[in-house]
Amino acid sequence: MKFKLSLLLASLIIVSCSPQKKEETATETQSDVSVDSLVYPQEKHFKNMRQLTFGGDNAEAYWSFDNTKLTFQSNNKAWGVSCDHIFYTTLGTDDLSMNKPAMISNGKGRTTCSYFIPGDQTIIYASTHLGGDECPKDPERVPGGKYLWPIFPTYDIFVADLNGNILKQLTTERGYDAEATVSPKGDKIVFTSTRNGDLDLYTMNLDGSDVKQITFELGYDGGAFFSPDGNRIVFRASRPKTPEDIKEYKDNLAQGLVAPTQMEIFTCNVDGSDLKQITNLGKANWAPFYHPSGKKIIFSSNHHGDRGFKFNLFMINEDGSGLEQISFDEVFDSFPMFSYDGKKIVFSSNRNNNGTRDTNLFVADWVD
């Protein structure tokens, strides 16, 4: 589940944040953006950056195992959707500045968190379509109130082919089941569920069998990904401690809501053992993903900014040392994922959006 970007930015009263970069114009498209005009001078780990999408909120782009495709979610109205739906694109072939990508989800309900399954012919994603054809509504924003994520209880996890045919429903429990990703080993799926009354992590086999709960502490555990060797899991978590915070968390959850404004990064073994808190930065630290070495973790955070909406990518050693800022946009960078060969990175950013609230996908070569 991603930040609902337009709601987040609107709630923080962003009018226009158009940072200065190297010579670029509002009319640039995928074909005429010069190499690295999208990279800030401080971004030494990025090279040959390309913008893939050009409108709406585009997020959670994840690589196919052969590193040639990306699956992602978008609410781009130009593509005929009114809330998040799942698409995929083939790099070097599709020009999304001119064409709509192939749509995987069926256009009903709301979808999130898609991920390729080994073989790259099928994709898992979560959808609310069994609960109704319409997009479920986001919670009303209360002036001066906290930003809240909806935890729609009609989310279930499905497998679909690249033509959008649903092949299997993997979860049937009552409540929220979403945020599923696949191990590089190709043997396990990790996902978030409320089936026990809290937001915890579970694993299951690719066919939905052998479901096991692996986190047990009160709080939201989600956005989990496997390490490159498939032996560990990294995820974001809230841990309410005071009686007031615990009550607020439980009250929100009872209404199908969670406040994602206080989260830290954790790791554990695939069975949930050796649980470790990696960050202690305060504010919102989320969207973690393992570096190809398996020794570092890249993630998005607003801990460094005076304004809550400034999110950048950071990298940290697995033991919590060596924090390094990776991206430097003035508004929003998040959802990083390294390609399986470790050569490229994809992420979402507000850069080059001409002062709009559009969040687009960007791919760059990764330089260690």
Percent of the chain surpassing pLDDT 70: 89
Give residues with Cβ within 8 angstroms of 343, minimum separation 6. Answer: 67, 365, 366
Q: What was the pLDDT predicted at 15?
A: 26
Q: What was the pLDDT predicted at 24?
A: 36
Q: What was the pLDDT predicted at 35?
A: 64
According to DSSP, the residues that pair with 338 across neighbouring strands are 345
DSSP 339-367: -TTSSEEEEEE-TTSTTSS-BEEEEEEE-
**Closest-CA residue to 99 (of 90, 108, 107):** 90
**Closest-CA residue to 348 (of 363, 326, 333):** 333
Q: What was the pLDDT predicted at 33?
A: 45
Separation of alpha carbons 18 and 47, rounded Å: 21
Confidence of residue 6 (pLDDT cuts 50, 70, 90): very low
Separation of alpha carbons 62 and 57, rounded Å: 15
Separation of alpha carbons 20 and 302, rounded Å: 20
Q: What was the pLDDT predicted at 139?
A: 82
Q: Are 235 and 201 in contact (CB under 8 A)?
A: yes
Q: What was the pLDDT predicted at 36?
A: 87
Digit-coded pLDDT (tens) for 151-165 = 999 999 999 999 999
Confidence of residue 31 (pLDDT cuts 50, 70, 90): very low
Digit-coded pLDDT (tens) for 273-286 = 999 999 999 999 99
CATH architecture of the domain formed by 5-16+42-366: 6 Propeller (2.120)
pLDDT beyond 50 at 265: yes
pLDDT beyond 60 at 25: no
Domain edges within the chain: 5-16+42-366
When the pLDDT of each residue in the chain is averaged and rounded to a whole number, the result is 91
pLDDT beyond 60 at 47: yes
**Closest-CA residue to 289 (of 346, 221, 336):** 336
Pairing assessment for the beta strands 264-269 and 276-277 based on DSSP bridges: antiparallel
What size, in residues, is the chain?
368
Digit-coded pLDDT (tens) for 138-147 = 888 776 678 8
Digit-coded pLDDT (tens) for 203-244 = 999 999 999 999 999 999 999 999 999 999 999 999 999 999
**Which residues in 110-135 are b (16+ Cβ under 10 Å) and which e?**
bbbbbbbbbebebbbbbbbbebeeeb
pLDDT beyond 50 at 12: no
pLDDT beyond 80 at 259: yes
Q: Are 289 and 234 in contact (CB under 8 A)?
A: yes
Instruction: Please give the angle made by the CA atoms of 327, 332 and 336, to the nearest 5 degrees.
Output: 60
Confidence of residue 1 (pLDDT cuts 50, 70, 90): low
Q: What was the pLDDT predicted at 10?
A: 36
Confidence of residue 74 (pLDDT cuts 50, 70, 90): very high
Give residues with Cβ within 8 angstroms of 302, minimum separation 6. Answer: 283, 284, 308, 309, 310, 311, 312
Q: What was the pLDDT predicted at 13?
A: 27
Digit-coded pLDDT (tens) for 284-335 = 999 999 999 999 999 999 999 887 689 999 999 999 999 999 999 999 999 9
Name the DSSP letter for residue 13.
T
Separation of alpha carbons 302 and 309, rounded Å: 7
pLDDT beyond 60 at 28: no
Q: What is the 3-state secondary structure (H, E, C) of 176-204?
A: CEEEEEECCCCCEEEEEECCCCCCEEEEE
**Closest-CA residue to 149 (of 5, 284, 257):** 257
Q: Are 51 and 33 in contact (CB under 8 A)?
A: yes
**Which residues in 271-297 are b (16+ Cβ under 10 Å) and which e?**
ebeeeeebbebebbbbbbbbbbeeebb
Digit-coded pLDDT (tens) for 163-177 = 999 999 999 999 999
Q: What was the pLDDT predicted at 198?
A: 98
Q: Are 300 and 333 in contact (CB under 8 A)?
A: yes
Distances (CA, A) of 179 to 116, 156, 182, 278: 13, 10, 10, 20
